Amino acid sequence: MSMETTEEGFTDHSNCCEQRGVSPVCLSLCKGNVKRIDFRHFVCLDHMSTIVNSCFPLKTYTNCILSHHKVLTSEPQEFRVSHVHHNWAIFKWKPPKKLAHTITKYYIHWRETASDSQNIYQIDISSRSPHLIDNLKPGYRYEAFVSAVNQYGVSEGSVRVIFSTPRLSTPDERELEETQFGYNETACCVRAALSRKCLPLCSYK
């Protein structure tokens, strides 16, 4: 991680913050030379109140300082999507190269990439690889990455992965997917590509 010192003597963490996804308007807080705060910076303070947004700047700024002092783990390795279905995906990765023994959990960050979607990552918590996310939408494009957590904070994120869930291809599948009353065994069998002649077994008919 490259670090720079500003003329005022502050350590410039803007590169670290930018890599962690901090919005441009908030990067000045990471640079350490903020001379004026106006209404545009309210969003930076707003982000502090929730852990759902993985890119809130002041928490990120703290993690960048801790990363500089080498108490955080390095980023998880070989992050990938191993299986993708209409509304779920399975993610796999390998532990970080540094301080892997200190990890308490992992954060899987994911979001839709459509231009009209909110630019906010959802976070799933996992104790180990692999991990399944099961509330995706059919026919959507997503971005995801994983970070490691220890007692001091959150590591840098892994490589980003872009993937798409397949569209529902037949009216029967759409009807099954839209069933919202309890667990739908037949829909599960369809997602698992079970032979159509065997589907009655899934509904006990």
pLDDT tens-digit readout, 17-35: 777 667 777 777 777 666 6
Q: How many angstroms separate the CA atoms of 50 and 66, rounded?
A: 20
pLDDT tens-digit readout, 190-200: 666 666 677 67
Where is mean pLDDT largest: 38-42, 86-90, 105-109, 154-158?
105-109
Query: Helix H segments across the chain?
Result: 14-19, 27-31, 42-46, 57-68, 171-177, 185-191, 199-202
* Percent of the chain whose pLDDT exceeds 70: 59
Distance of CA 62 to the CA centre of its chain: 19
Q: Which pLDDT does position 41 carry in this prediction?
A: 64
Quick one: pLDDT band at residue 141, thresholds 50, 70, 90?
very high
Quick one: pLDDT band at residue 71, thresholds 50, 70, 90?
confident
Between 148 and 18, residue with greater pLDDT: 148
User: What does the longest C-alpha to C-alpha distance in the chain come to?
Assistant: 76
Quick one: pLDDT band at residue 77, thresholds 50, 70, 90?
very high
Cβ 29 vs Cβ 43: under 8 Å: no
Query: What is the pTM (predicted TM-score) of this model?
Result: 0.61
Q: Which pLDDT does position 57 carry in this prediction?
A: 43
Is pLDDT of 92 > 50?
yes
Q: How many angstroms separate the CA atoms of 81 and 123, rounded?
A: 16
Cβ within 8 Å of residue 77, ≥6 positions away: 93, 94, 95, 96, 97, 158
Which amino acid, one-letter code, is at 138?
P
pLDDT tens-digit readout, 3-22: 343 444 456 767 777 776 67
pLDDT tens-digit readout, 174-189: 666 655 445 566 667 7
Q: How many angstroms separate the CA atoms of 139 and 4, rounded?
A: 44
Q: Where are the domains of the chain?
A: 4-68, 77-164, 171-202
Q: Which of 25, 194, 3 is nearest to 119 (CA)?
A: 25
Task: List the Cα angle 70/75/80 in 5-degree steps.
Answer: 175
Query: Any idea which residue has 């032979």 for tokens?
Result: 195
Between 142 and 42, residue with greater pLDDT: 142
Architecture of the CATH domain 77-164: Sandwich (2.60)
Q: Which pLDDT does position 16 carry in this prediction?
A: 75
Q: In the predicted model, what is the mean pLDDT of residues 130-148?
A: 93
